[in-house]
Amino acid sequence: MKANQSRQSPVEWEESASLLPQTGRDLPTGRHQFHRERLMAHIQQDMQREENPASTGAARPRARGFRLPRPAILLPASALAVAGAVVAGTALNSGTGANPAEFATGPALTTQLGSTTTKGVPQLLDQVSLVAGEGSRPEVKPGQYIYIESKSAQTFVKTVHGKSSLASHPLHRRQVWMSADGTKGWLIDPAVNDSPEGETLSLPDEKGNTPKAHMGAPSYDFLAALPTDPDQLLELIYKKTKGQGNTPDQQAFTTIGDLVSESLPPAELNSALFKAAAKIPGVFVVNDAQDAVGRTGVAVARLDETSGAREEWIFDKKTHVFLGARIVQVKQVSEYGVVMKPGTVQYTDAIINRAIVDGIKQTPGQGA
């Protein structure tokens, strides 16, 4: 996610969207990799670095209140152009019905905030880590792919004819296939694809480079090489995400959430990630939370004091199995006439299936 929690205002989104390429289908087959941070925040960061090549990226841009919906960990470059146009209210007419610009159909998503407590956090995460580490997961063999199916929905700021308001993408199915080294893959997500067939995530990128996997855009091979001692793991996460996000603690929490969500970490690492999360200051429990498909559970969460948004990892109350994640606005924020009230759900997802399959577009139980 090239994680950076800087915030753009609706006006800045509209201005930056005009700089984006307006045609996704004509782009080369290479694709950019993006961490599960906010799409337009990345655009802002990239433009700032282009304007100031001498910058090391260590300086944190001015933070804002709004957080854009969490995009895919892996997002096609063509989707970048389309998503930017959606935020800016640019009309795109593909005639396919799969155009993301036509996908925003509902009002802002909302929920009850629920009661919270700091009691029992270590105990809950200890139980979660035990479940996460149970058994052994098969290694991904050459030619095989990690398949993850989820349901997701999101709220975002949409600007049309100079007027900004909150809108939402409806709950929809999302499917991702990725090779162990992260260089081959496929994404089917109607919120970002301009074709129902989806788009390739295979590398190299448009410049012919093959980016290396990192903490913000991990591959299975990258995850398998991480330390499984919780203290060493957390220290590494802080080191690799230094200068990102609104605070080091919030960024560490966000990074761990991304690593356990749309990926398939080895069992020992999966357990260590939750044990590491228990060591982050400011983590608390939300007693009642729902994932994107309505499954109820208990959430481990942390509040980003700068944005006023609460990031939640939702677990089954009895089995402690990870169900999904969501981002809920807790403090009211307002910029350029757009108000995001407490209870607004910026992003929500539910993990439906994770498996290892033998080919792209193959699903579990389906022959090659």
Q: What is the pLDDT of residues 350-360, one digit of tens each?
A: 999 999 999 99
Q: At CA 277, angle to CA 275 and CA 59, rounded to 5?
A: 145
Lowest mean pLDDT, pick from 70-79, 319-328, 335-344: 70-79
Whether the predicted model's global pTM rises above the 0.95 cut = no
Cβ atoms 5, 251 nearer than 8 A: yes
Alpha helices in the chain (DSSP H): 10-17, 39-51, 77-88, 121-132, 220-224, 230-240, 248-261, 267-277
pLDDT at 60 over 90: no
pLDDT digits (tens, 9 = 90+) for 103-144: 656 889 999 998 999 999 999 999 999 999 987 778 898 899
Residue with tokens 């599960």: 36
**pLDDT top residue among 90 and 296:** 296
Average confidence score pLDDT of the chain: 77
Torsion sign over Cα 168, 171, 322, 231: negative
**C-alpha span between 308 and 330 (Å, rounded):** 6
pLDDT digits (tens, 9 = 90+) for 27-38: 222 233 333 333
**C-alpha span between 116 and 299 (Å, rounded):** 9
**pLDDT top residue among 19 and 332:** 332
Closest to 86 (Cα-Cα) out of 65, 104, 66, 68: 104
